[in-house]
Structure 1
Amino acid sequence: MKLLLDECTPRRLKRDFVGHTVSTVDEAGLKGLKNGQLLRAAVGNFDALITVDQNIIHQQNLASFGISIVLLIAQSNSYQDLTSRVPQALDALEQIKPSEIVRVSD
């Protein structure tokens, strides 16, 4: 699965999504785009967006974009807090459907 790692998510998490092709927003040339622009640019190029931005689900009509979103919820956006969410995120990616939002937390 092709995953896009959002700007607000630590780049180091990229290594943790073993078995998937992961690009950061910067690597994909999408740095600085607002959420709607980012989602439009990601459609057709990525299967899912990995983010910690909890506002994204309230700001956009996500069903219209056709890209899945994995929302990592932790005490902070630090790698140390988020890495424990990766196994659950990997499990979710096995079953995620287009336009589906999956929240991953404790």
Structure 2
Amino acid sequence: MKIILDENLPRALKVYLSAYEVTTVQEQGWAGVKNGELMARIDGVYDVFITSDKNLKYQQNLTGRTIAIIELPTNRLKLLETITDKILAEVESISLGMYVQVSL
């Protein structure tokens, strides 16, 4: 499974997803790319996009996208570390095209 982390998330989150092929928007050289263009670039290339952007589902037309999206409740690593089990459970169960929100 190929996962890409949004630029609003700490790169250290990759450690908790080490069982998967994980990269970041920054590592791909796409820092600063607007959401619409970013979604076009990653859809069909990656399986899961993880973000903490709560506006993504309102700002973008996600209909017809194959990439699964996981929205995290925060981008603060200390808080994310307390819910890594929830994040991993969503990664393991999500299907292409789904949009899920993880809560604290």
For structure 2, list consecutive stretches of 5 or more residues without a partner in the other structure. none
Find the counterpart in structure 1 of residue 29 from structure 2. 29
Whichever residue aligns with residue 48 of structure 1, its letter is V
Q: How large is the Cα RMSD of the aligned pairs?
A: 1.2
Q: Which residue of 1 aligns with 2:95?
A: 97
CA distance in 1, matches of 2:33, 2:11: 17
The 5 Å alignment of 1:1-106 reads 1-74=1-74, 77-106=75-104
3-state SS, counterpart of residue 50 of structure 2: strand
Partner-residue secondary structure (3-state), 2:37: helix
Contact 1:73-1:105 at 8 Å conserved across structures: yes
After superposing on structure 2, the runs of 4+ consecutive aligned residues of structure 1 that deviate more than 2 Å are none
Q: Which runs of 5+ in 1 are unaligned?
A: none
Q: Secondary structure at the match of 2:54?
A: coil
The change in CA–CA distance for 1:86 and 1:63 in structure 2 (over 3 A counts) is farther
Identity of aligned residues (%): 38
CA contact (8 A) 1:14 1:22 kept: yes
Q: CA deviation at 1:102?
A: 1.0
Q: Deviations over 1:48-70 (max 9, x none)?
A: 11100000011111122211101
What SS is found at the alignment partner of 1:70? strand
Higher deviation after alignment, 78-87 or 45-54:
78-87
